[in-house]
Chain A
Amino acid sequence: MAKNIQSLERAAAMLRLLAGGERRLGLSDIASSLGLAKGTAHGILRTLQHEGFVEQDAVSGRYQLGAELLRLGNSYLDVHELRARALVWTDDLARSSGESAHLGVLHQQGVLIVHHVFRPDDSRQVLEVGAMQPLHSTALGKVLSAYDPVAHTEALEAERRSFTPRTVTDPEEFETMLDLIRARGWAADVEETWEGVAAVAAPIHDRRRMPVGAVAVTGAVERVCADGELRPELIAAVRDCARAVSRDLGARPF
């Protein structure tokens, strides 16, 4: 059996020592409780402090657990929170693009639609909240696969069905496409899932730059594309929207 890493064991022991109630301990208390030299204990504490797992009180110099530990335990972003934050921006996206806007998150092996803003014309439309979309062929799914490693694994391991002649199913081609998406910062689906339908999507990040979802505009291919190319102003609008939502979630400017 491989030997455990000693400094990690010591760090874990320190965190346990500081846990439980409102505990603040000085360097010498920590060092003596764990039977460590002060210098060794200080080195570990400084590293933990740098990672945000431990904080040092400015006045007393004593150590306590850091806020980052709490965040680790609560890192899951509620999708309804995401919708509430995105509401204003996705309304504006639909309005400025003239197409419907969707917000999607990874759920099991697909994209779960958590928010949908109607195309701003007077046509009858059905709310698609709660619907699932495939990961490998839709703009939302491709963005998630490109940025979220879990989505990436799901997309690679799942059966990638061919919905139209344009669906990318070959694993190597799929990876090349994801590289391009990461390089450009957005993904497209031009009749790769539904005939006659095109979409553009961009990733939403939280304050730790973790990909938490994606936003897309979707419409008839003849409106979303012009002269065989995606309309650049639509791409810009989607990316602006994704950035605005990310900013609302606390992500620093790109």
Chain B
Amino acid sequence: MTDAHTTGPFIAAIDQGTTSSRCIVFDKDGRIVSVDQKEHEQIFPKPGWVEHNATEIWENVQEVVAGAIVKAGITAADVKAIGITNQRETTLLWDKNTGEPVHNALVWQDTRTDALCKELGRNVGQDRFRRETGLPLASYFAGPKVRWLLDNVEGLRERAERGDILFGTMDSWVIWNLTGGTDGGVHVTDVTNASRTLLMNLHTLAWDDKILASMEIPAAVLPEIRSSAEVYGTAKGGVLDGVPVASALGDQQAALFGQTCFSEGEAKSTYGTGTFMLMNTGETPVNSYNGLLTTVGYRIGDQKPVYALEGSIAVTGSLVQWMRDQMGLIKSAAEIETLASSVEDNGGAYFVPAFSGLFAPYWRSDARGVIAGLTRYVTKAHIARAVLEATAWQTREITDAMTKDSGVELAALKVDGGMTSNNLLMQTLADFLDAPVVRPMVAETTCLGAAYAAGLAVGFWPDTDALRANWRRAAEWTPRMAADTRDREYKSWLKAVERTMGWLEDSTVEE
């Protein structure tokens, strides 16, 4: 980092992510003091199956925490609290007496519970638990993964019913180990992580007995559901011995928190391989009739919970990677902007990357990707432009769905993630949304959100207003597109989307 920082105190945030674990130390202004990061192995036992070794992950977490503390040149005494953020939905069961995982963690991308989810839907279908949980029955979520483990690891159900087995998403696993593990570790999860299990009732914020019974999951394995910002316990052993563990948030919710989207109608969108957009909907959960998920945004201590609507786009950054790796039209991801900037517009071409079907708001698994509107005039530069526009139009579709569900118009979109370095994309986004697009100064909003929540819990920051005051605008793109152009282009995009549907004829997934 580029200059001397104030001499503490600090907050340490642990981000247990899908590909790596990181620890970032923040100062009171929300600036990064030090970072350490370590990747872990992605285990693919069969097509569609994805696992992580939880023991490796815990070792990495300890290593990066030590690394970040050493790099910052500080000690446990300088750290006021530890915050946790994590890959959501990834599911682990472990033995509470030995601390040993009973199986590798089943990662959120793992699709082995597809058939089970269909079975659990019975005659109702994938929305069977939507009213209680805000979620469709889909293989991402933790509940069915727990059931799969109980059914498939020999003798596990008996051990679970005896009370020897603990379930947790990665927040629970990290907190349990941090606070002592077999030696008095606390078994908790936070409302945001619990809201991704398909097992928690969104309205009561408690485990739902009926769903537990339907999924045949014994209550004995479940962690206690706590708020996202409170002291769960203190770290036992390690470099941060004695420091309070004071927050847990799923990664996308942490980014919402780090972007200080504390008011109803405020939204953030994270542009990575895929894109996740969350909008704060205030203190009541909003049911979605437009294909979005309802989830808990955060809950600070004993304050009322704040809910969010979530929409995700499967293919955004990965489309640029596809242009680089599969098509060979560019040599680096950044070059897509160079190529796209060499023309004024898309030349009439539209690219709908429905590589594995259409997600929110359509949910059509029979759709496949399409490049529409091709003529002799179209060059690779026009296609590059259409690639960037695809990300912007898909964001527009999700914001439209959010407006329909919540009745709130988007005032501005806060963005983060790797693709925010693409200036043309950000301008296009502002043009298509007809709303300002704002990038904050700290790109690490996920870790920052976990640090903020932990800092609030221990009084390091007094309230959310103080956090808002820390927020700094690094760049803002304002809409420059004429309304009639936007409308005409949107219409063409929607026509292209229509042409992706029904490509697969014998789709096995119910609509």
Chain A interface SS verdict (over half): helix
| Interface-central residue, B32, B337, B420, B474, by most chain A CB under 10 Å | B474
CB <8 Å contact, A81 and B476 = no
CB <8 Å contact, A94 and B335 = no
- Identify which of residues 61-115 in chain A touch chain B, using a CB-to-CB cut-off of 8 Å: 74, 78-81, 83-84, 87-89, 91-96, 115
Chain A residue numbers with a CB within 8 Å of B336 are: 80
CB <8 Å contact, A80 and B338 = yes
| B442 CB contact (under 8 Å) in A74, A84, A91 | A91
Chain A residue numbers with a CB within 8 Å of B477 are: 127
Closest to B333 in A: A84
- Total A-B pairs, Cβ < 8 A: 77
Please tell me if B473 contacts chain A, counting CB pairs below 8 Å.
yes
Chain A residue numbers with a CB within 8 Å of B333 are: 84
The contact size tier of chain A is 20 to 34
Closest to B418 in A: A84
CB <8 Å contact, B337 and A92 = no
Chain A residue numbers with a CB within 8 Å of B3 are: 96, 233, 236-237, 240
CB <8 Å contact, B31 and A95 = yes
| B441 CB contact (under 8 Å) in A89, A94, A237 | A94
Please tell me if A151 contacts chain B, counting CB pairs below 8 Å.
no
Cα A84 to Cα B421 in complex, Å, equals 5
Cα A194 to Cα B505 in complex, Å, equals 65
Chain A residue numbers with a CB within 8 Å of B53 are: none
CB <8 Å contact, A240 and B476 = no
| Interface-central residue, A83, A89, A118, A241, by most chain B CB under 10 Å | A118
CB <8 Å contact, B335 and A96 = no
CB <8 Å contact, A94 and B474 = yes
Please tell me if B55 contacts chain A, counting CB pairs below 8 Å.
no
Chain A residue numbers with a CB within 8 Å of B131 are: none
CB <8 Å contact, A117 and B476 = no
Please tell me if B472 contacts chain A, counting CB pairs below 8 Å.
yes
Cα A241 to Cα B1 in complex, Å, equals 8
CB <8 Å contact, A240 and B2 = yes
CB <8 Å contact, B32 and A92 = yes
Q: Mark B437-473, 1 if CB is under 8 A from A, else 0.
A: 0000111000000000000000000000000000011
| A118 CB contact (under 8 Å) in B331, B418, B474 | B474
CB <8 Å contact, B334 and A81 = yes
What is the CB-to-nearest-CB distance from A189 to chain B, in angstroms, rounded to a whole number?
Answer: 21
| A129 CB contact (under 8 Å) in B332, B334, B423 | B423
Cα A95 to Cα B336 in complex, Å, equals 29
Please tell me if B475 contacts chain A, counting CB pairs below 8 Å.
yes
- Identify which of residues 323-367 in chain B touch chain A, using a CB-to-CB cut-off of 8 Å: 331-338
| A80 CB contact (under 8 Å) in B29, B334, B476 | B334
Please tell me if B422 contacts chain A, counting CB pairs below 8 Å.
yes
Cα A190 to Cα B183 in complex, Å, equals 63
Please tell me if A125 contacts chain B, counting CB pairs below 8 Å.
yes
| Interface-central residue, A89, A95, A241, by most chain B CB under 10 Å | A95
Where the two chains meet, the residues of B that have a C-beta atom closer than 8 Å to any C-beta of A are 1-3, 29, 31-32, 331-338, 418, 420-423, 441-443, 472-477
Ordered by A's residue number, 7 sampled pairs between the chains whose C-beta atoms are within 8 Å are A91-B441, A91-B442, A117-B474, A117-B475, A118-B475, A118-B476, A122-B473
